[in-house]
Amino acid sequence: MSLVVSLARQMHQHLGASLGFEDLEAIGREGLLDAARSFDRERGIPFLRWASLRIRGSMIDGARAHGSLPRRVYRKLRALEAGDRIQEVVAEELAANPPKGAEAADEKLDDALASMAMAMAAAFLAPQTQGLDEIIHPDTESPEEAFAHAELMNRVRAAIDKRPENERTLLERHYFDGVTFEQAAAEIGLSKSWASRLHARAIEAIARELRRTGIKE
């Protein structure tokens, strides 16, 4: 329960007045119960990490369903969701194949952090999801911010274009065509779990490509 309270405080800072702390705490308790029901020790992910992802995911879903959200808040929710999706896959991979030695662990951590940063940036900066005008209201960017964001997304799209077809389709449909991750996964015939792995692999490759060409997350 202390984890629920901590995550509710964090999410409340992100959301501001969009959703009250008590509401987030109540949603988080439901997320904790769902985490307990769905926890599988064989996956190798510690329960607290698994619960953190499930609780925050339930809070994100609750905030999205709550009603009108500022565009920047909605973008933050998308970014948090994208980062959590990467984190879940990385946790499973580390449990299945722990790095051998400090150097390998450092390299894996660098790749994981870069992938999370790239996924969160793509989710935050990508064009607004279609059909959601009724639950968000716009805010403004300075011309400098808009130019920098557009330049970064052009580089991301160019890197996406180089990926294999399934990876490219998944990323384009979810980040640029405005469909949910689950729907994008279904369109290419993958379960959400396998699509999450494909997504993590593609994002890691794109993050490496952009770092190699001089973009820092």
The domains located in the chain, with CATH, are: 1-66 (no CATH), 70-217 (1.10.10.10)
Residue 168: is its pLDDT beyond 60? yes
Give the model's confidence band at 138: pLDDT under 50 very low, under 70 low, under 90 confident, else very high: very low
Least confident of 121-125, 149-153, 185-189: 149-153
For all residues of the chain together, what is the average pLDDT?
82
Give the model's confidence band at 134: pLDDT under 50 very low, under 70 low, under 90 confident, else very high: very low
Q: Provide the pLDDT for residue 77.
A: 83
Residue 217: is its pLDDT beyond 50? no
Give the model's confidence band at 195: pLDDT under 50 very low, under 70 low, under 90 confident, else very high: very high
Residue 147: is its pLDDT beyond 80? no
Residue 126: is its pLDDT beyond 50? yes
Structure-token match 């510690």, residue found: 46
Closest among 31, 91, 17 to 61, alpha carbons compared = 31
Q: Provide the pLDDT for residue 131.
A: 42
Residue 123: is its pLDDT beyond 60? yes
Q: What is the mean pLDDT of residues 10-32?
A: 83
Write out the chain in H/E/C secondary structure.
CHHHHHHHHHHHHHHHHHCCHHHHHHHHHHHHHHHHHHCCHHHCCCHHHHHHHHHHHHHHHHHHHHCCEEHHHHHHHHHHHHHHHHHHHHHHHHHHCCCCCHHHHHHHHHHHHHHHHHHHHHHHHCCCCCCCCCCEECCCCCHHHHHHHHHHHHHHHHHHHCCCHHHHHHHHHHHHCCCCHHHHHHHCCCCHHHHHHHHHHHHHHHHHHHHHCCCCC
pLDDT digits (tens, 9 = 90+) for 42-56: 777 788 888 888 888
Q: Provide the pLDDT for residue 142.
A: 66
Give the model's confidence band at 71: pLDDT under 50 very low, under 70 low, under 90 confident, else very high: confident
